[in-house]
Amino acid sequence: QVQLVESGGGLVQAGGSLRLSCAASGRIFSFNVMGWYRQAPGKQRELVASITRGDSTNYASSVKGRFTISRDSARNTVYLQMNSLESEDAGVYYCNLKVIGTRNDYWGQGTQVTVSS
């Protein structure tokens, strides 16, 4: 089916930056939305940002202005540029792909983002 592999997580000081990437492979449908979710310790998993094939984007209010999601459809890759990182941004970040019009929902393994203060 579809496989998603995240990379780019790591340890960064508050105020620093990281760039996450998610490479998709397998049976990839064009009519889809890809996004990044995160789960911080003690919190529910939340949508961080999403992007459509037409590059329409959506951001959580907490990251608006600091994070930028983008995609390279030709390379089947989505990115999340994270700037001005805060301790509240720490957690496991998961790449997600939803096939529009179906219940198909694919997830990556997650990549850890740690922010030191």
pLDDT tens profile 3-45: 999 999 999 999 999 999 999 998 877 778 999 999 998 999 9
Question: Which residues, 6 or more positions from 43, have their beta carbon under 8 angstroms from its beta carbon?
Answer: 91
Rounded CA separation 34/22 (Å): 10
**In this predicted model, what pLDDT tens digit does every residue of 45-97 receive, in sequence order?**
999 999 998 889 999 999 999 999 999 878 789 999 999 999 999 999 999 99
In angstroms, rounded to a whole number, what is the distance separating the alpha carbons of residues 72 and 49? 15
Q: Say if residues 11 and 27 touch (Cβ distance below 8 Å).
A: no
Give strand ranges (E) for the chain: 2-7, 10-13, 18-26, 32-39, 46-52, 57-59, 67-72, 77-82, 91-99, 105-107, 111-116
Which tokens is 105 given?
């929902």
